[in-house]
Amino acid sequence: MTARWSRAAGLPRPLPDGTGLALRVEDIGGPGRCLELLLTSSGRGRWTRHIPLPRTSATVGPYSTLVSYVVGGHRGVLAVFPVPGTARIPAYPAAVGASVSRGPVEFVLCIGAAAAWLPLGRLILQGPSPYPNGKGEMAFDPYHSSLPGFRPVDFLRSLRVAAYAGSREGRLAPPPS
């Protein structure tokens, strides 16, 4: 799995900014079929899970997909929550990358169903990042890299597909394979 941390708006330090966590799980759907998730620091409530929130610490609250997913027949926003007791890590990609290189940082992956969060599994990040400064050549696109039973809902799909294509074009990144 590959994880990339980023600052959402690119605000200068020490201003709080939304923190992004992009995940790619290679070959999970068979050879060459990956799953990608884009998560952003957000709230945990029924409405605030859809709103990006600025943070100064990468490990004080949830990261959500902001939009709903269909996962095994259930529909809801996906989120990762830091495991209780996780040390505070400054919300800067280099600081998070350094921390993950020193030891694991653990989250609980959940799906938000109505007002509750249902746990789906654990996410353990550890090891050096291929993107130590939060930037890299790898483009993430959760609409292109999803699985039949694990995909974003179609609401706003055309807008988001166009936004991801425009982002790749602006960065001169290749289209997803």
Half-sphere exposure (CA, 13 Å, Cβ side) for 63? Answer: 28
- Residue 175 lies inside a defined structural domain of this protein: no
- Residue 24 lies inside a defined structural domain of this protein: yes
Encode pLDDT of 162-176 as tens digits: 655 666 566 566 566
- Residue 140 lies inside a defined structural domain of this protein: yes
Whether 142 shows a pLDDT value over 60: the answer reads yes
The predicted pLDDT at position 161 comes to 54
- Residue 130 tokens read as 């291929």
Tell me the average pLDDT across 9-30: 86
> How far apart, in whole angstroms, are the C-alpha atoms of residue 49 and residue 46?
6
Residues spanned by the domain of 51: 2-170
The count of structural domains within the chain is: 1
Q: What is the CATH number of the domain that holds 33?
A: 2.40.180.10
